[in-house]
């Protein structure tokens, strides 16, 4: 409703006196002018002077909005039934309270919250929407969400129905101190801190291979249990595949990392589950298990390694690939023009290789016809990983393979300089650098690589994951780059001397898994089917039965 009123802030006779004075002054100013003005103009100027001297009229409009009250109901597991009379009674009491609020007021604005908060349609049955299933409680986020959602309403208060226990987000007390409206609490459940043990996170590879051991990283979270011994296992149905016993930390709240593994026996989409021992006195046992799903492929990847010439980089790369259980390796190292250690090259590289690894290849002895065969295989959709070595023929690389790789030399030079590897912003979140138990900070401790001083140009659709750092100065050229184009994935490591990272001294023992892990991740990344091809039906032309999904 809009109301308009007229009021004076002084006595009415002051208004009359002001009008007379303004009119007199305006008449005195313009009744005779030098030079003389037309009557119409003098009236106009006099009117303007009168208006400027007259009182100011102000129009005030007020709009009444009905008050609104936000009702925030805790939907987390800490309020849910846990098989005891007390908790069942609490659950029923919360539902009765919410139902009473909704029936006796039209001003309420209902919200359910756990780890996040969402508004509920007032016309819906708010009380019946309570499932008490959210694994997290973020009270601060719920208060912020209610304030944002009701910004245009006349919010006059908040009713918080909760046990007050939060396990996510910031301390709600800090937000409550600065909250613009009163917060009324309706305490429900047990306000004492609950003891609990839960499986917080399970990390493993999304795509694995039948008969190949798969690592599983588990992170437990404990609250209120200290020093107790529990068993964590990975299960396929009722069968336990692996288990580890760990001791919970001697602190009120803590996390415990656990390393497990299993070997898939069947191909296809398989579901497994991580379970941890149930402890007496836990708030709930529903979070003592966490399922996860992996896609199990039938066979290993066929990797064809082409080496430019015998050398430490080629040897180290070959040793790492031979140790990968997911790889069936065929290695060919150039011995002379048209000849290779390992025998003649396959007639059809696209048919023989699931992925091509070019370790410095093409070298100076590579024949133009062979380079063209490799180029054709890449164009037909064969994934490729290029690793620069000191034996690489940069001219042949730039002339024949530049447009099928994520980066190529724009101005080839034979000189090399020592450089450290600096991970870019795009690389920090990329799976290539996700090596278990090896943080990105370790790269600063590794021996420098040999960076070629050619002017390297990344393809427009390439992602630069790492750049060189020479004597503390970061350069813009790519050091590691990846590319996705028309269903084909390619990657390039543009630094020689990676054998150093495969043979680290004893004081860098913690970095031993780094280069084997990065190389394995690069092979896995280029061979992972590109989901973007599902709609465009990308098909490798040399294999009618092979399609990227």
Residue range 470-508, pLDDT digits in tens: 999 999 999 999 999 888 899 999 999 999 999 999 899
Residue range 347-360, pLDDT digits in tens: 999 899 999 999 99
Q: What angle do CA 106, 110, 114 make, to 5 degrees?
A: 170
Cβ atoms of residues 53 and 21 within 8 Å: yes
For residue 3, pLDDT beyond 60 = no
For residue 114, pLDDT beyond 90 = no
pLDDT of residue 222: 87
pLDDT of residue 548: 32
Q: Which of 13-17, 136-140, 253-257 has the lowest mean pLDDT?
A: 13-17
Residue 253 confidence class, pLDDT cut points 50, 70, 90:
confident
Q: Region 272-276: what's the mean pLDDT?
A: 95
| Domain 67-187 fold | Rossmann fold (3.40.50)
Residue range 520-544, pLDDT digits in tens: 999 999 998 765 443 333 444 433 3
User: Is 197-297 the same fold as 67-187?
Assistant: no
Number of Cβ within 10 Å of residue 198's Cβ equals 22
Residues 6+ apart with CB under 8 A from 48: none
- Give strand pairing partners of 297: 209
Strand boundaries in 196-300, DSSP class E: 196-204, 207-209, 214-223, 229-236, 239-247, 253-262, 268-276, 289-297
pLDDT of residue 307: 97
**Helix or strand run (H / E) with residue 314:** helix 312-323
For residue 85, pLDDT beyond 50 = no
pLDDT of residue 10: 62
pLDDT of residue 549: 30
Q: Region 371-394: what's the mean pLDDT?
A: 95
pLDDT of residue 211: 82
Q: Can you tell me the distance from the alpha carbon of 402 to that of 250, in angstroms, rounded to the nearest whole number? A: 57
Residue that wins the pLDDT comparison between 166 and 147: 147
Residue range 367-382, pLDDT digits in tens: 999 999 999 999 999 9
| Domain 197-297 fold | Immunoglobulin-like (2.60.40)
Quote the pTM value. 0.51
Which two structure tokens, joined as six digits, stand for 98?
A: 């919410």
pLDDT of residue 107: 72
Q: What angle do CA 183, 189, 195 make, to 5 degrees?
A: 115
Residue 283 confidence class, pLDDT cut points 50, 70, 90:
confident
Count H helices and E strands in the chain, helices first.
12, 29
What distance lies between CA 144 and its chain's CA centroid? Answer: 23
Cβ atoms of residues 324 and 517 within 8 Å: no
Q: Region 186-198: what's the mean pLDDT?
A: 70
Residue range 4-31, pLDDT digits in tens: 555 656 666 766 776 677 677 666 665 6
Q: What angle do CA 16, 18, 23 make, to 5 degrees?
A: 100
Q: Can you tell me the distance from the alpha carbon of 373 to that of 146, in angstroms, rounded to the nearest whole number? A: 63
Residues 6+ apart with CB under 8 A from 68: 107, 108, 109, 150, 153, 154, 155, 156
Q: Which of 110-114, 260-264, 426-430 has the lowest mean pLDDT?
A: 110-114
pLDDT of residue 46: 59
pLDDT of residue 408: 93
Spell out the SS3 assignment of 447-494: CCEEEECCEEEECCCEEEEEEEEECCEECCCCCEEEEEECCEEEEEEC
Domain range annotation of the chain: 2-62, 67-187, 197-297, 301-533
**According to the CATH classification, is domain 301-533 in 3.30.70.141?**
no
């Amino acid at each position: 409703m809009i109301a308009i009123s007229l009021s004076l802030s002084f006595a009415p006779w002051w208004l009359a006196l002001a009008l007379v004075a303004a009119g007199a002054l305006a008449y005195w100013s313009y009744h005779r002018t030098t030079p003389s003005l037309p009557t119409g103009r003098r009236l106009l100027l006099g009117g303007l002077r009168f208006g400027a001297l007259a009182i100011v009229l102000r129009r005030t409009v007020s709009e009444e909005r009905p008050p609104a009250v936000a009702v925030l109901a805790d939907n987390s597991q800490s309020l849910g039934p846990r098989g005891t009379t007390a908790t069942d009674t609490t659950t029923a009491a919360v539902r009765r309270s919410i139902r009473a609020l909704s029936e006796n007021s039209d001003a309420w604005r209902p919200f359910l919250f756990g780890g996040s908060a969402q508004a509920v349609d007032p016309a819906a049955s708010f009380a019946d929407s309570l499932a008490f299933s959210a694994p997290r409680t973020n009270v601060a986020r719920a208060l912020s969400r209610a304030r944002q959602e009701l910004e245009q309403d006349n919010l006059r208060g908040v009713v918080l129905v909760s046990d007050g226990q939060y396990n996510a987000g910031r301390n709600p007390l800090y937000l409550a101190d600065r909250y613009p409206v009163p917060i009324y609490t309706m305490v429900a459940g047990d306000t004492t801190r609950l003891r609990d043990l839960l499986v917080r996170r399970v990390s493993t590879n999304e795509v694995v291979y039948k008969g190949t051991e798969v690592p599983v990283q588990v992170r437990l979270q404990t609250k209120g249990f200290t020093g107790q011994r529990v068993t964590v296992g990975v299960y396929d149905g009722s069968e336990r595949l692996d288990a580890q016993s760990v001791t919970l930390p001697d602190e009120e709240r803590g996390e415990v990392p656990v390393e497990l593994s299993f070997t898939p026996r069947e191909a296809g989409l398989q579901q497994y589950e991580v379970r941890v021992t149930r402890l007496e006195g836990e708030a709930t046992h529903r979070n003592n298990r966490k399922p996860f799903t992996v896609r199990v492929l039938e066979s290993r990847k066929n990797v064809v390694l082409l080496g430019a010439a015998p050398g430490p980089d080629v040897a180290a790369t070959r040793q790492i690939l031979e140790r990968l259980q997911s790889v069936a390796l065929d290695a060919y190292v150039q011995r002379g023009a048209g000849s290779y250690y390992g025998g003649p090259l396959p007639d059809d590289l696209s048919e023989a290789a699931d992925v091509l690894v070019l370790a410095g290849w093409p070298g100076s002895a590579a024949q133009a016809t062979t380079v063209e065969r490799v180029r054709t295989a890449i164009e037909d959709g064969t994934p490729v990983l290029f690793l620069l070595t000191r034996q690489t023929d940069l001219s042949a690389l730039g002339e024949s393979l530049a447009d099928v790789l994520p980066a190529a030399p724009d101005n080839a030079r034979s000189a090399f300089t020592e450089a450290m590897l600096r991970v870019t912003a795009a690389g920090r979140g990329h799976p290539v650098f996700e090596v278990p138990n090896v943080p990105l900070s370790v790269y600063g401790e590794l021996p420098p690589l040999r960076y070629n001083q050619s002017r390297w140009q990344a393809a427009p659709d390439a992602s630069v994951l790492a750049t060189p750092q020479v004597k503390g100065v970061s350069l813009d050229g790519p050091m590691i780059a990846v590319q996705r184009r028309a269903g084909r994935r390619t990657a390039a490591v543009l630094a020689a001397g990676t054998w150093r990272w495969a043979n680290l001294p004893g004081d860098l023992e913690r970095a031993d898994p780094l280069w084997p892990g990065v190389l394995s991740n690069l092979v896995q990344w280029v061979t992972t089917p590109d989901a973007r091809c599902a709609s465009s039906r990308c098909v490798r032309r040399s294999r009618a039965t092979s399609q990227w999904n």
